[in-house]
Structure 1
Amino acid sequence: MKYVTMSCALSAIVAAFLLSVRGLHATDAPEVEADTDQADKLAKQLANPISSLISVPFQANEDFGYGPSHNGYKFTLNIQPVIPISISKDWNLILRTIFPIVSQHDLFYVENLPENSPLQPQNRSQDGLSDTTQSFFFSPKKPGPFGLIWGIGPALLYPTGTHPFLGTGTFSIGPTVVVLKQMGGLTAGALMNQLWSVAIEEHRSSFSQMFLQPFVAYTIKTHTTFTLSTESTANWNNTPGDAKWTVPLIFQISQILKIGKQPISLQVGGKYYADSPRDSLTRAH
């Protein structure tokens, strides 16, 4: 079964946040310049996961056809603040956090279950907070050889899930790295992390998962950006015989706009699951 997703994202860049970049000494805030030049710069910064721009994206995703019954539905609102901090003359520390708020139905339920199964009709829906992922990227302020922009550091998964079906029940940690190159309106790169559980709640299983996100984005003169990516996960703890990989192919279009003096980026897109386990997985990225 190939799952289909419709997603809509709103990336809000609040004017006060843009000004506070100078206060954090991440890099100098953009000088007062023409709206076109500012929009060009913002579009390029938004295409870079570790740019020195404070932003607070809100990303809403709707997934259909999940779970063993292929009738599952999942709505996820990701709140994803990005905060750059200057730690020296040559280095930034970029904090990327993802707070997922989830509402899901029939992701685990199948018909004709035994009476003692926990997956009865009254338990078919779950709503609440999923696990929180936080990444710390140490990144040079200037591009390296061949114009490469990169960052590396630790990633943490906090067990903030408010229901057993919304989280892993583990505190996990591992490395994360991002590498990209920007050439004119083109941005290409990849972000990955690998998480292993180091503390496990009672009656929960160990956790080992890799996240891989290659991406290509192109921005045209109207400050419209077209992005093709995948947010693939490999769950190394899946049961034997079950697929380990979840591979969604994602296409998104975003546009830089202004509401008064406040610049925002509006984004819409779609997602198609080229490969996935039989059952829905909890994913961290």
Structure 2
Amino acid sequence: MIRFLMLCTLCLGGLRTLADEQSFRARQAQNPLADLMKYELETRLDFEYGSRDAVNYTTSIRPAMAASVSKDWNLISRLDLPVGYQPGRSAGEKDSWGLGDTTYESFFVPAGWSRWTLGLGPTFQIPTATDPQLGTRKWSAGLAAAAHGEAGPFTFGLRANQLWSFAGKAHRDDVNRTAFEYWFYANLGRGWWIGTAPVNIADWEADAENRWTVPVGGGIGKVVGRRIPLNLKCEAYAYAEVPNDLAEWSLLFSVEFLLPENALFKR
């Protein structure tokens, strides 16, 4: 009986340790400035898209890596490569599929853990789109900034970038766009979380009626696994403001691989 009780105690202790680790990894996943390697695959479905009320489909590949540049500073690098299918927005416009433009963001952040983290760095957009309708045909550059905070089970913050085009096809519209994402998450324990992280966009080259994209919504997720944790999430967003030819609401699913220092490799 004593051995049985000891075995039960050890099992319960192991389960609690795993639950605590999953909650810790969930907070790291919610922090874009965390000293961690991440590989996210996000599938996005945009409903009632364009004049035909079709479905726009995009899978985004988003690796992120932290690298030490000195004993006091880290460099966080984030890449966003979209691949998808876009139905024609207006009558007579053809459907398109393939690669979109690639966006790179970087943040210089102080090394070490803190409840408050700030980051600042350059950002670039490369015209890698395989179809003119899927990209800008412009080379763009600008600045990116992010701030992240933690208080008890809550995490919150803001990430923003501003892009201006400086080269590319002369007949295409210039790029002058601001994107900002704010997030608020409540961690529920055992790796579960609920929260919101909408990406708002202001296209300063568009007319006033088509300038803003403002999603409203949220989702739920859970971190599973131990050696290579996975952050699984599902989110839904409707749009308070959206350009005339875009979607009415969106559904997002993603799998994010979280690679801590002892998993595979770090740098």
Which residue among 38, 54, 60 is the counterpart of 2:37?
A: 54
Per-residue displacement from partner, 1:189-226 (whole Å, max 9, x unpaired)?
Answer: 11101100011224212110000111101111121111
Distance 1:234 1:241 in 2: 10
2:73 alignment partner, one of 91, 107, 117: 91
CA spacing shift, 1:178–1:128, aligned 2, 3 Å: same
For 1:191-206, list aligned pairs within 5 A.
Answer: 191-206=159-174
1:271 pairs with one of 219, 224, 237: 237
- Deviation of 1:148 (Å): 2.0
Secondary structure in structure 1 of the residue aligned to 2:231: strand
Structure 1 vs Structure 2 CA RMSD: 1.8
Aligned residue for 2:147, secondary structure, equals strand
Which of 56, 71, 79 matches 1:74? 56
Q: Which has the higher strand share?
A: 2
Deviations 1:20-54 (A, max 9, x none): xxxxxxxxxxxxx9323321221110010110110
TM-score (norm 1): 0.77
Alpha-carbon distance in structure 2 between the residues aligned to 1:88 and 1:227: 34
- In the aligned structure 2, how far is the partner of 1:137 from the partner of 1:72? 37
Give how far 1:277 is off.
1.2
Identity across matched positions, percent: 30
Q: Is the 8 A contact 2:19 2:189 kept in 1?
A: no
Task: Provide the secondary structure at the position in 1 that maps to 2:33.
Answer: coil
1:98: how far off?
0.4
Amino acid at match of 1:80: R
Shift of the 241–50 alpha-carbon distance from structure 1 to 2, 3 Å rule, reads closer
- For residues 174 and 48 of structure 2, the distance between their equivalents in structure 1, rounded to whole angstroms, comes to 27
Structure 1: any 5+ residue segments left out of the alignment?
1-32, 111-119
Quote the residue 1:256 is aligned against.
223
Residue 137 (structure 1) aligned with residue 107 (structure 2): yes
Q: 2:204 aligns with which of 228, 232, 236?
A: 236
User: Of 71, 83, 94, which residue of structure 2 is paired with 1:101?
Assistant: 83
Out of 174, 183, 190, the position equivalent to 2:151 is 183
Structure 2 distance, partners of 1:133, 1:214, is 18
TM-score, normalisation: structure 2 = 0.82
Which one-letter code corresponds to 1:46 in the other structure?
A
The 1-side partners of 2:56 and 2:39 are apart by: 22
What is the rounded CA distance, in whole Å, between the counterparts of 2:52 and 2:218 in structure 1? 23
Contact kept in structure 1, 2:49 and 2:245, CA below 8 Å: yes
**Deviation readout 1:142-171 (Å, 9 max, x if unpaired):** 467xx4211000110110111111001111
Question: Contact between 1:157 and 1:172, CA under 8 Å: does it hold in 2?
Answer: yes
Per the alignment, residue 124 of structure 1 pairs with 94
Q: Which amino acid aligns with 1:249?
A: V
Aligned mate of 1:218, from 167, 181, 186: 186
Are 2:229 and 1:247 equivalent residues in the alignment? no
Task: Name the CA distance, whole Å, in 2 between partners of 1:267 and 1:230.
Answer: 14
**One-letter identity of the residue aligned with 1:65:** E
Aligned to 2:251: none
Which residue matches 2:246? 280
Contact kept, 8 Å, 1:231 with 1:249, in 2: the verdict is no
Structure 2 CA distance for aligned equivalents of residues 70 and 243 of structure 1? 18
Query: Residues of 2 paired with 1:60 and 1:198: CA distance?
Result: 30
Cα deviation, residue 229, structure 1: 2.5
The alignment partner of 1:55 has SS state of strand
Query: How far off its partner does 1:70 sit?
Result: 5.2
Between the two proteins, the alignment pairs up a number of residues equal to 232
